[in-house]
């Protein structure tokens, strides 16, 4: 599974999450599933890095092939020049062609090297962007979850404190009195 697919799964997990009663902007997420997705991201990041290394390896291979081709062209040009060395005009022509071939081969090699370097830089940049986006996404989701549970705990603690206060005063909570058909006593 690619990192993009994992991030899509995380989005779907958030979209399918049920809302919390009395807090519609909060959601209950399957923490175990979210943890699995985060682990999948961690496992797939090395794949993205391997991909970048493969691009770098391909770049080096292409450069070596271009250099070998350039050397082959130079050797062929030199061999051809030796065969026709007897006539000066032909020798000059061969030398000119050899220089042109070497120049073209070097230019081709430089172009291939530049393209390979650009591909590697782009792959590294994409990997870093994916990593940063994933890190930011996960951190934000954890912050949201932490804020949600902190607010829920605070709400429970506030309600408990109110109940305790009512118990100490010897009064039933308003909702309990209403259920029994009694009106809630007025506060002093």
- Kindly report the backbone phi and psi dihedral angles of residue 12, in degrees, each rounded to the nearest multiple of 5, phi listed first: -60, -40
Single out the residue of 38, 64, 20, 30 nearest to residue 153, CA to CA.
Answer: 20
Is 66 or 14 the better-scoring residue by pLDDT? 66
Interval 178-187 mean pLDDT: 50
Confidence band, pLDDT 50/70/90 cuts, at residue 171: low
Rounded to whole angstroms, the Cα distance separating 162 from 164 reads: 5
Which pLDDT score, from 0 to 100, does residue 155 have? 94
3-state secondary structure of 186: coil
Distance CA 31, CA 4 (A): 20
Residue with the bigger pLDDT between 45 and 86: it is 45
Distance, CA of 153 to chain centre: 33
What is the predicted pLDDT for the residue at 188?
43
Q: What angle do CA 55, 129, 123 make, to 5 degrees?
A: 10
pLDDT above 70: residue 91: no
Work out the average pLDDT over 75-102: 79
Q: Among all chains, which residue has been given the structure tokens 């949600």?
A: 148
- Reported as a single tens digit per residue, the pLDDT across 110-158 is 888 888 888 888 888 887 888 888 888 889 888 888 899 899 999 999 9
Q: Give the predicted TM-score (pTM) of the model.
A: 0.34
The single residue listed with the structure tokens 């991909």 is 51
- pLDDT-derived band at 92 (thresholds 50, 70, 90) equals confident
Average pLDDT of the chain, as a whole number: 82
């Amino acid at each position: 599974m690619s990192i993009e697919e994992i991030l899509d799964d995380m989005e779907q997990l958030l979209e399918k999450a049920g809302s919390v009663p009395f807090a519609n902007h909060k959601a209950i997420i399957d923490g175990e599933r979210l943890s699995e997705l985060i682990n999948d991201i961690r496992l797939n990041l090395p794949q993205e890095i391997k991909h970048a290394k493969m691009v770098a390896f391909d770049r080096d291979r292409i450069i070596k092939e271009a250099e070998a081709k350039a050397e082959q062209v130079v050797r062929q040009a030199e061999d051809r020049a030796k065969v026709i060395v007897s006539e000066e005009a032909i020798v000059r022509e061969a030398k000119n062609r050899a220089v042109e071939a070497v120049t073209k081969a070097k230019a081709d090699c430089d172009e291939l090297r530049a393209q390979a370097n650009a591909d590697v830089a782009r792959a590294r940049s994409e990997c870093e962007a994916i990593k940063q986006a994933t890190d930011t996404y996960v951190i934000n989701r954890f912050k949201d979850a932490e804020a949600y549970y902190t607010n829920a705990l605070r709400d429970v603690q506030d309600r408990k404190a109110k109940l305790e206060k009512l118990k100490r005063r010897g009064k039933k909570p308003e909702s309990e009195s209403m259920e029994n058909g009694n009106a809630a006593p007025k506060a002093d």
